Amino acid sequence: MRAALPAFRRVRRCHRPAFTLIELLVVIAIIAILIGLLLPAVQKVREAAARMSCSNNMKQLGLAAHNYVTNNSVLPPGVLNAYPSLYGDPGFLVLQQNYQGLSVFVFLLPYVEQDNVHRLITSSLPQPDYMSLTAARAGWLVSGISGFQTAAQTKIKSFVCPSDNPYASLNCSVGLGTFIGASDGQTWVSGIYVSGPFAAAQGRTSYLGVEGGLGPIPGYENEIGLFSNRSRVALEHVTSGDGLSNTAMFGESTGDWEKSPRNYSWGWMGCGTMPLRFRAIPNPDDVNSWAGFSSKHSGVAQFTMGDGSVRSIRKYIPTSDANFVPFLSVTGWRDGQVSNTSSFMP
């Protein structure tokens, strides 16, 4: 018998050629286009999240201010600057003599879960009445008290907008004030800046209290805001005035020219309030835009209102803008004007 032949099976082989260079380039181009379409969407989502987080920070500041009122009957002072004159020059020489230079944030520390930082300050006060509104003492910056220096270097996350990076600046303002020039009689906004390792160590803030037009400067009393030098504003007064929901309490401020590389920022220990009579929300090409409210958000700057709500105000509102006067009225609590905010809200 013939032996059975082994069974053979034909295996079909499929030949698959590799990508050509042109096909590979087309695929890469498609992927690049898709990434290009996706990145703006990702950036928008990221900015929306940062803006919401910033809004929450500002809401917490408003709640902290209201909790302070619960225990003290009035809002905290915007800053402890010159005294007994409330509009003296915030210079280094004066800082050594008649004002403490402590901002509103110092008084709010226990109400934003920063009790330890507050104790660093209060446990090292050179005089028992150092934080009193009617005491003129040497400034925290020149006092030589280690508790002040240690506290001032604390980086408090809720004082910084997530879209901003004030710690990238080379210089830090450790004091800010509105004053009348002794020689020319003009009104000025002045900051005290430091640089080098001392500046690098300072805790920063993206927010400032709203001083109104020019704070306590004579002739502008009706424009005064909720926070100014040595201020003691009761919420009942605001309610019977322009109303809490119609009055700005805190605003965003970068402390720098918006178009430039980051060179300046605010220190939370000594920078408490910002007036609006000179700049409000200045244009990005204004080299003095540090003297106004600003933000790193696209198109808006956020403000905490007296009732604790947070509103977005459209950039930009220089003094020449038609919205300047209506916006200025929002920053004062007793000017008798309730503005239609729809013209400068997005």
Q: For the chain of 346 residues, list the mean pLDDT of each consecutive stretch of 10.
A: 51 56 77 74 71 96 97 96 85 68 96 96 90 91 82 96 94 91 84 90 97 92 94 94 94 89 92 92 90 93 96 93 93 85 81
- Provide the β-strand partners of residue 194: 172
Quote the pLDDT of residue 71: 96
SS3 290: coil
Vertex 285: Cα angle to 284 and 287 (nearest 5): 105
The most distant pair of C-alpha atoms in the chain lies apart, rounded to whole Å, by: 131
> What is the four-CA torsion angle of 80, 291, 225, 193, rounded to 10 degrees?
-10
Whether omega for the bond prior to residue 84 falls within 30 degrees of 0, making it cis, is yes
pTM, rounded to two decimals: 0.86
Residue 207 is encoded by which pair of tokens?
A: 């927010």
The whole-angstrom separation of Cα 39 and Cα 58 is 28
Residue 130 is encoded by which pair of tokens?
A: 């150092």
The whole-angstrom separation of Cα 278 and Cα 286 is 12
Q: Which residue has the tokens 């540090």?
A: 290
DSSP 113: T
CB 301 within 8 Å of CB 312 = yes
